[in-house]
Amino acid sequence: MGRADHRTPNDRLRELIRESDWTYEALARAVNTLGASSGLRLRYDRTAIAQWIRGVRPRPPVPELAAEALSRKLGRTVTVTDTGLAPAGMPGATLPGSPDPLVRLGELREAYLDPVLRESMRRSLLAGDWPSPDWADDGSAGGTGPGGPMQRPSTGGPPGRIGMGEVDALEATSRFYNEVWDAFGGGHGTSALAACLADDVAVWLRSPMADGVRTALMSRAAELTLRLALMYFEDGHYGFAQRYLDTAAQLARDAGDRTMYVTVLARAATAARDLGQYRKAAHLADAGQALLTACDADTVSFAQGEFAIAYAAVDDVRAAQRCLDSAEQNLSRCTGSSAIAEAQLYTSHWQRAGVLVFQNRPADVVLALRTTLPRVPQEDRRFRVAVVAGTANAQLRLGLLDEACATLQQLLPDFSRLRSADMAGFLGELLRKVGAFGRARPVADLLQQAHGLLPQSPVPARPYVH
């Protein structure tokens, strides 16, 4: 009797395949496709799926890829546990998913420390695991989140030791990590920030304090959680970025902070768009539009710029233009220091260039980005690299090889000081495009200068990008 005969048949997977109206071959193709987009070379066929049905379990991250494929086909979230491809006791088999955002902060930190689950979440996304687009999911500070009741301590007693000092500490922490992110990329400081949120912030928010302090502290916690999500995204940990985006949205709703909630939706729309989930990005943009009337001009200008790119990605030209017009109008109403005003201006130029990319206007993209770059501070290496790389990409689309090579050479000094898997993947892709032109002198010079800047192993491109 063969070894497989002792295994329990996987009825869960069999039922999901039946529900999806897929053949075994179709599921195998979907898993192979998702694997390829994540940098994996998989060659599963209907025979492999039949073995899974008989009880064989593939190694991670294949169970996560199968769950993602079925999620997309069925239009709802299918977890690895749902597929029966991983036992509940297996390390890394259970994804963090507590309905309480404070508990989830601890779960996510522990998940990142688990090498099996960290790799699985790095490579895969969950179809339904974006922030809820409905503010009514938690309409007040005492409401319920999309996953169930929020667990929060009573605030009826006298204030405890937590006060505005902790709020000020989180504001300073947020400024520090923003500077680190700008100067050195998303690969620096994520573990320390995750520990801060799980070990300090979550504990503070469970402690007695005045209601006003709790609201302010939770808003700052949402901001810091969003910052960590963006850093994880840039470092290529897309599954963690999704979970932290969702947690940030829950914290913002729990604080009654619509401005922060809209900011999270705008960032989530950007992430979804960058991962090729254009319809999801537009859906998040639709949700954000309804809440903008409660936001200040600064938030409206930034959010509308991001929403414009989301609409451009789905070819909704009118909606994209309306958002750009709104962003520009609100930009003139923004208040703040001259440095903040300058940052808002170059961000606006960058967002307009993003719309032009989807409108297939590379010449206009080059002009917009050339307007953007001189305004970006030298210490903001991350943004400068993104602008220069976008310029080179547009120049290559125009067939301007010499100009693109010169632009990429301009990028290299800043890039050498960044730690960013996402940008390394983009730069690697650009260098491959340049290398395809042959042994032209500008190409040879560029490749020689770039030698040693990228990791030895190939950096996988963003998954699911079209």
As to burial, measured by CB atoms within 10 angstroms (0-12 exposed, 13-18 middle, 19+ buried), residue 345 is middle
Print pLDDT tens along the chain (466 aa). 334 445 789 999 999 999 999 999 999 999 998 877 666 788 999 999 999 999 998 887 788 788 878 887 887 767 777 898 875 554 444 566 678 899 989 989 988 887 767 766 665 555 556 888 788 654 333 333 333 334 454 443 344 578 999 999 999 999 999 999 999 998 889 999 999 999 999 999 988 889 899 999 999 999 999 999 999 999 888 888 989 999 999 999 999 999 999 999 999 999 999 888 888 899 999 999 989 988 999 999 999 999 999 999 999 999 999 999 999 999 988 877 777 888 899 999 999 999 999 999 999 999 999 999 999 999 999 999 999 999 999 999 999 999 999 999 999 999 999 988 888 888 988 998 898 887 788 898 998 888 888 765 555 555 433 3
Give the domain range for residue 393.
360-466
Final residue of a structural domain among 242, 273, 304: 273
CA distances from 449 to 226, 405, 452 (A): 35, 11, 8
> Are 63 and 169 in the same domain?
no
Q: Is the sign of the CA dihedral 181, 183, 188, 194 positive or negative?
A: negative
Q: Is the sign of the CA dihedral 35, 41, 45, 48 positive or negative?
A: negative
**CA-to-CA distance for 52 and 66, rounded, in angstroms?**
11
pLDDT of residue 61: 74
> How is residue 259 written in tokens?
């401005």
Q: Are 265 and 250 in contact (CB under 8 A)?
A: no
Final residue of a structural domain among 248, 273, 298: 273
Q: Are 309 and 354 in contact (CB under 8 A)?
A: yes
> Are 218 and 366 in the same domain?
no
> Are 50 and 138 in the same domain?
no
pLDDT of residue 237: 86
Residue 20: inside a domain: yes
Residue 383: inside a domain: yes
> Are 130 and 235 in the same domain?
yes
**CA-to-CA distance for 445 and 253, rounded, in angstroms?**
52
- State the CB neighbour count (10 A cutoff) for residue 466: 8
Per the structure, the count of domains in the chain is: 3
As to burial, measured by CB atoms within 10 angstroms (0-12 exposed, 13-18 middle, 19+ buried), residue 410 is middle
3-state secondary structure of 148: strand
Q: Are 401 and 443 in contact (CB under 8 A)?
A: yes
Residue 131: inside a domain: yes
Residue 223: inside a domain: yes
3-state secondary structure of 131: coil
Residue 287: inside a domain: no
**CA-to-CA distance for 35 and 117, rounded, in angstroms?**
16
> Are 127 and 194 in the same domain?
yes
> Are 100 and 79 in the same domain?
no
> What string of DSSP letters covers 295-333?
S-HHHHHHHHHHHHHHHHHTT-HHHHHHHHHHHHHHHTT
> Are 24 and 119 in the same domain?
no
> Are 41 and 124 in the same domain?
no
**CA-to-CA distance for 29 and 42, rounded, in angstroms?**
9
Residue 329: inside a domain: no
φ, ψ of residue 145 in degrees (nearest 5)? -85, 175
Q: Are 266 and 251 in contact (CB under 8 A)?
A: no
> Are 112 and 234 in the same domain?
yes
pTM of the model: 0.79
Closest CA to 99 of 155, 125, 137: 137
pLDDT of residue 162: 87
> Are 398 and 252 in the same domain?
no
**CA-to-CA distance for 421 and 63, rounded, in angstroms?**
24
The angle at the Cα of 324, spanning 386 to 256, to the nearest 5 degrees, equals: 90
Residue 313: inside a domain: no
Residue 221: inside a domain: yes
> Are 176 and 204 in the same domain?
yes
Q: How far is CA 200 from the centre of its chain?
A: 24
Cα Rg of the chain (Å, integer): 23
Name residue 267's beta-bridge partners.
none
> Are 65 and 177 in the same domain?
no
Final residue of a structural domain among 273, 295, 319: 273
Q: Is the sign of the CA dihedral 128, 133, 134, 138 positive or negative?
A: positive
> What string of DSSP letters covers 201-239?
IHHHHTS---HHHHHHHHHHHHHHHHHHHHHHHHTT-HH
